[in-house]
C-alpha cells in the first residue's frame, strides 16, 4: 500500500505514531530473520559436528582394531612360514572379490630433541604475540601453531615441520636456532604401516576403496 494513501486524513501526531509503528515492525522483522538464520546455522553446524566427531571416533576405532588384527595375523603368517623373508613386514590377502594390502615403509621421525624445540618454539611464539597488535589472531602465530600438531602416534609430521623451516625469514635468529634443533632431531627411522583395500568388479578389474574425502 502507498504510504501517502495510508496516512491520508491523519493528523501529524497520528502520522508520526504510524511511522514509528511501521519502523518498529520492520526492525522486528529484521530481528526475526536474523534469529531464524542464526538458529538454522547453529542447528546445521551442530549436526555436522555431531556426525563428524562420531565418524572420526569410528574411524579411529577401526584403525586401532585393524592394527591389532593385522599384527596378530602377521604373527600367524610368520609362524607358518608364509613370509618370503624374516624382514618382510607387508603382505597381501585376497578372498573372493576383496583384497587387503598391508604395506610398510621407512620414514624419518624426530627424537627427544624435537620436544625441546617444540617447547622453545611455543615460548617464542607466546612472546611474539605479546608484541603483536593482533595477539593470537596474528596469522603467522596461527600458522606456526597449527604446524606443531602431532599425528595419531604422537609424533611430529615431517611435512608440517618442513613448512616451519620456510618461515625462518619471517622471524629472527632465535627462531632459526629452534629450527636447527628440529633439523638435528630429525634422524630417527621408523616404520609406517599403511592399509589399502580393493574390490573387484564383474569385469575382473580391481578398484581401490579409499575412505577419504580427498578421494571421493
Looking at residue 21, its pLDDT comes to 82
Looking at residue 1, its pLDDT comes to 52
Q: Which residues pair with 124 in a beta bridge?
A: none
d(CA 92, CA 87): 15
- 202-211 contact pairs (CB < 8 A, 24+): 206/99, 211/59
Looking at residue 215, its pLDDT comes to 63
Looking at residue 205, its pLDDT comes to 93
Looking at residue 132, its pLDDT comes to 74
115-140 pLDDT, tens digit each: 999 999 989 888 878 877 777 787 77
d(CA 91, CA 72): 13
d(CA 101, CA 50): 32
- Which portions of the chain are predicted below pLDDT 50? none
Which residue is associated with the grid cell 530473520?
33
Per-residue b or e along 158-192, where b marks 16 or more CB atoms closer than 10 Å to that residue's CB:
eeebeebeeeeeebeeebeebbebbbebbeeeeee
Amino acid at each position: 500500500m502507498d504510504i501517502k494513501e495510508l496516512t491520508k486524513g491523519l493528523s501529524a501526531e497520528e502520522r508520526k505514531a504510524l511511522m514509528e509503528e511501521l519502523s518498529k515492525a520492520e526492525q522486528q522483522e529484521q530481528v526475526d530473520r536474523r534469529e531464524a538464520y542464526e538458529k538454522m546455522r547453529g542447528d546445521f553446524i551442530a549436526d555436522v559436528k555431531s556426525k563428524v566427531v562420531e565418524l572420526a571416533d569410528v574411524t579411529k576405532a577401526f584403525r586401532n582394531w585393524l592394527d591389532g588384527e593385522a599384527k596378530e595375523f602377521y604373527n600367524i603368517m610368520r609362524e607358518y612360514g608364509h613370509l618370503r623373508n624374516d624382514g618382510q613386514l607387508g603382505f597381501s590377502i585376497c578372498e573372493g572379490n576383496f583384497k587387503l594390502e598391508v604395506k610398510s615403509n621407512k620414514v624419518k621421525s624426530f627424537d627427544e630433541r624435537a620436544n625441546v624445540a617444540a617447547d622453545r618454539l611455543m615460548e617464542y611464539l607466546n612472546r611474539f604475540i605479546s608484541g603483536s597488535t593482533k595477539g593470537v589472531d596474528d596469522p603467522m602465530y596461527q600458522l606456526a601453531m597449527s604446524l606443531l600438531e602431532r599425528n595419531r602416534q604422537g609424533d611430529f609430521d615431517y611435512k608440517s615441520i618442513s613448512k616451519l623451516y620456510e618461515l625462518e625469514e619471517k622471524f629472527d635468529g632465535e627462531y632459526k636456532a629452534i629450527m636447527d634443533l628440529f633439523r638435528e632431531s630429525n634422524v630417527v627411522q621408523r616404520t609406517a604401516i599403511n592399509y589399502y583395500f580393493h574390490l573387484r568388479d564383474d569385469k575382473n578389474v580391481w578398484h581401490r576403496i579409499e575412505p577419504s574425502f580427498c578421494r571421493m
